[in-house]
Chain A
């Protein structure tokens, strides 16, 4: 199931877990040095390598409309570079919606898995399974000393980026983000804000990932991220409680106001959506709101992204019609039967 369709562990803090593996095929240059004929060869080779089962869906990504491409980015299926790039490229998606193989992103092949909640081991196992399938059919570029050879030297070694998307209103409120960023940097991890357009931190969403890929094994990378994430989950929960206890009435008021807007507003823009999402998601974790789940809110956030709205709704064109469709989508998804189990 897609990451926004099922619950997963520690969902109050962890939105999703991701693993990305960068792979390249020997004898082909990288990026701009590839001509279109070679690009098509690579696409065909990867497609063939995964053709044995029916569990993959192949899409000629270059032939999709811009809306569809950006919508895929907004659903976290592909990277911004891949969505906005040009030239032949393809996307292979697992039928269960958890794995995406980008062909001709920065590297020839990017295997990406995304699973709900805190589930890095699951994401890693899925990525490794696909990696094994590709490896049995393709000559993957590798060097005994440098490991997997990648376009950018920052990915040499394992070619792996493991990450968790965290909802951190408590830590953000405490103002400790800068020092957290520094601390994580010292142990080879990075944190990035994941706000929408306008780049405000209203969504309180942050992605934490490993930076180093050479000299550490895949297992060590995952284990370290798991260990740090566990600590951050505890810290976040404590800070949320503290924030709540500091002024229950004021925070409850803010949360309920945002919930009220979600239920009744007619027009909602992206920036407001992030703020509403963050308030109500916090409310759910504090027990202030019990008629909606965190994963339902994550689903709302994805389904209300601009390109997704245009793709999924008829007659959405300008900003006004988008804001209207967004408000409708929020209301519709809030009133639906709860998905998944807490």
Chain B
């Protein structure tokens, strides 16, 4: 059986004013169903690059990324976007909520990308409840605390029932309590058979993860 997320010999270099900057060098990594993998490394070691490439958002220079056995970059851009909507959820340090949509609509926004027979509204309301947002449904992000914002982002990431969650410093802007909450949620997701790839430079994520991988200068140690 193939892994949920299979990264093979992944390389990425960026064009820069003075030659190319190599952000990833031959990274290989597999995340299985039920696994919560934390990638730790110093700033600038290529964590975000790895995450975006794994999330079908950044075309690698070489190597492959397979999600549920599907080679992401073998797909045409439109199909890749659809695949992303259906199989991958994202959580970012900056939350990236849509500023003019209220909590409920933000949680619902992934439904724009997919036509599902799912009763998405009730599912969104359910998710909001699960993250303790039931009283904030009609509030826009600007009216929320940072912890609440990250919970909205988490609920949004889960709307389309992806089996893979990619999280980039999801606790970076949160206090200890809210950070804990997010990590617990990710661990729970993994326990229920999902897969989590989290990248961070903080140590606190490690105790929630099932596996910790060290990264240094574009390479997995």
A and B are partners in one complex rather than unrelated chains: no
Residues of A at under 8 Å CB distance from B? none
